[in-house]
Chains A and B, each alone.
Chain A
Amino acid sequence: MPHPSSNEKKQIPIKEGLFTAPLSPVERVRLMGSQCRDCSEISLGKRQTCSNCGGGNLTEIPLSRKGKLWTYTVIRHKPPGDYKGPDPFVPFGLGLVELPEGIRVLSPIQCDLERMKVGMELEMEVYPLYSDENQNEVMAFRFGPV
């Protein structure tokens, strides 16, 4: 069995339970949802309880990589706190992306800011946002035009 070379970076999710495993190749990674077996509502990421009906009978459901922009804005000033995006800051789109499973996910939108439009088709991309103190690549997500 070949071992990964020691200088290969380990990839970790920005939040545990947010993505399907494994995190490579990134083209196959999907956002993970939790679907309630009682009321069928879906929440983002791994959950213990359904926030709609309060039930504890949840099942993991990988979410579609493609969706449509439901609404959006442009972040024109560097967000407060420990923002890990480009430095110096570059304005970026932020929107709710509606996925076919019946959930709208808040996400950065990688797109020509002038061309953002409600209803536009988008696809998810998983990418390394920053390297942590242990040299892990911390993987985040964003949506961009198909």
Chain B
Amino acid sequence: MKEVAIIGVGIHKFGRFENKSYLELGQEAAQMALRDANLQWKDVQMAYLSKMYLPATSGARILKPMGATGIPICDIEAACASGGIALSQAILGIQAGAFDIVMVLGTEKMPRGFMDPSMIYEKWQIQMGMDTNPSYWAMRARRHMHEYGTTDLHLAKVAFKNHKNSVHNPYAMYRKEFGIEEIMNSPLVCDPIHLLEICAPNEGSAAVILCPKEKAAQFTSKPITVAACVPTNAYYSADFRAPVDSLSAKAMNPGPTEMAAKKAYQQAGIGPQEINCFEVQDTDAFCEIEIYEQLGLCKKGEGGRLLDEGATEIGGKYPVNTSGGLISKGEPIGASHLGQVFEIVTQLRGEAGKRQVPNAKVGLAHVLGAGNNCAVTILKV
């Protein structure tokens, strides 16, 4: 199959921007990606917008003011994994020969506080109070603690690492280091998950421009190859996440992350040991520990040990969330995966400054969310 390369990336900082509309957030990221690829908007042949909260036809509303060039513009939604689906659609279009230059934009401007539950849950679940998103993360964490001895300290170590990494990322929201005790003493949201161990929904945008790899040299001296991009939805009863009302106690299917990662490793011909940097869905600190195991960075139940060894710090064997992760960047849902891709591309180009992983050649981005949607993307130099 035709190889596809990323020739430009752009980002608007993740955070809160009271005086900016989503149009401005999106246009800034799109223009930055165009400049990065030495292209103009009129060169783009197809555009996707990844979003969850924005209104209908937001893609056209954001991009058409940059020039009504007549190209198709399409919005895509798959909760936290929206960006992964949008990216895979762009790649398929290029591989099919339908387009040469495709933009994938992710933009979000979300209300403060808990997400509107009626977008995800049924009425009876909301009325009974079973619609607090972090409760799902908390219950998975509690079970992992019960089965494998994972501790509150392990969770705090994830948050400590990610907040610390974000200090050097100008596009992250918090950029503030928190001590282990401060994290563990922050208020419990859903036991055992503390406030400083979860991500906040927020605002931001990121953009990626792709083309056939054989044409990439026309636009950039630093093309990044897409080695795999695998979106998926979980097998039966394989993932406990909003808005699931029950689980099978008998079915033993691999989780969505394991499934997507396995396919992505096969497609790329690259295993986890050969990957130099990872951006993963740390909606909460526990989630990151579970993902270490599901990506194959360690055996099941050993995610806590991996943290104790410092393996996932910058400078460790498997640096995870060098950007600060969602815990420190916040999660503008539609922009999330493309923000991860921005970070991996920055790392593979060697442009990550103080958070640079030395000699990074291969990187992996992973998203996972409501409806059991998941995506794994592997990029290489």
- Whether A140 lies near B128 (C-beta < 8 A) is yes
Residues facing B in A107-146 (CB within 8 A) are 107-108, 118, 129-130, 138, 140, 142
Size range of the interface on B? 35 or more
A104→B334 CA distance, assembly (Å) = 32
- Whether B127 lies near A82 (C-beta < 8 A) is yes
A104→B127 CA distance, assembly (Å) = 20
- Whether A43 lies near B246 (C-beta < 8 A) is yes
Q: Out of B132, B139, B247, which one reaches A79, CB within 8 Å?
A: B132
Residues facing B in A68-92 (CB within 8 A) are 70-77, 79-85, 92
State whether A94 and B248 are in contact (beta carbons under 8 Å apart), knowing that A71-B142, A80-B115 are contacts in the complex. no
A106→B113 CA distance, assembly (Å) = 24
State whether A52 and B140 are in contact (beta carbons under 8 Å apart), knowing that A79-B132, A94-B130 are contacts in the complex. no
- Whether A92 lies near B251 (C-beta < 8 A) is no
State whether A94 and B139 are in contact (beta carbons under 8 Å apart), knowing that A74-B188, A80-B132 are contacts in the complex. yes
Q: Out of B123, B127, B192, which one reaches A129, CB within 8 Å?
A: B127
How far apart are B189's CB and chain A's nearest CB, in angstroms? 7
A70→B146 CA distance, assembly (Å) = 10
Q: Which residues of B lie under 8 Å from residue A43 when comparing CB positions?
A: 246
State whether A73 and B135 are in contact (beta carbons under 8 Å apart), knowing that A15-B122, A103-B249 are contacts in the complex. yes
How far apart are A32's CB and chain B's nearest CB, in angstroms? 12
| A-B residue pair count with CB separations less than 8 angstroms | 131
A96 in contact (CB, < 8 A) = yes
How far apart are B284's CB and chain A's nearest CB, in angstroms? 11
- Whether B251 lies near A94 (C-beta < 8 A) is no
B218 in contact (CB, < 8 A) = no
Size range of the interface on A? 35 or more
B237 in contact (CB, < 8 A) = yes
Q: Which residues of B lie under 8 Å from residue A18 when comparing CB positions?
A: 124
- Whether A80 lies near B249 (C-beta < 8 A) is no
How far apart are A50's CB and chain B's nearest CB, in angstroms? 9
Q: Out of A52, A83, A95, A103, which one reaches B139, CB within 8 Å?
A: A95
A51 in contact (CB, < 8 A) = yes
B126 in contact (CB, < 8 A) = yes
B236's nearest neighbour on chain A, judged by CB, is A52
A76→B192 CA distance, assembly (Å) = 11
A105 in contact (CB, < 8 A) = yes
Q: Which residues of A lie under 8 Å from residue B139 when comparing CB positions?
A: 71-73, 94-96
Secondary structure at the A interface, as helix, strand, loop or mixed, is strand
A84→B83 CA distance, assembly (Å) = 35
A41→B130 CA distance, assembly (Å) = 23
How far apart are A133's CB and chain B's nearest CB, in angstroms? 14
Q: Which residues of A lie under 8 Å from residue B140 when comparing CB positions?
A: 71
State whether A84 and B248 are in contact (beta carbons under 8 Å apart), knowing that A71-B146, A73-B142 are contacts in the complex. no
User: What are 14 A-B pairs with beta-carbon distances under 8 A?
Assistant: A14-B128, A44-B245, A52-B248, A70-B249, A72-B142, A76-B191, A81-B118, A82-B123, A84-B128, A85-B128, A94-B129, A94-B139, A105-B246, A108-B128
Chain B residues near A (Cβ < 8 Å)? 113-118, 121-124, 126-132, 135, 138-140, 142-143, 146, 187-193, 236-237, 240, 244-251
| 4 tightest Cβ-Cβ pairs between the two chains A and B | A73-B138, A71-B143, A80-B114, A15-B124
Chain A residues near B (Cβ < 8 Å)? 14-15, 18, 41-45, 51-52, 70-77, 79-85, 92, 94-96, 98-99, 102-108, 118, 129-130, 138, 140, 142
Given A41-B236, A76-B190, A102-B248, 13 other A-B residues pairs in contact with their CB atoms under 8 A: A45-B245, A72-B139, A73-B190, A79-B114, A80-B114, A80-B115, A80-B116, A80-B117, A81-B118, A94-B132, A102-B250, A104-B249, A118-B142
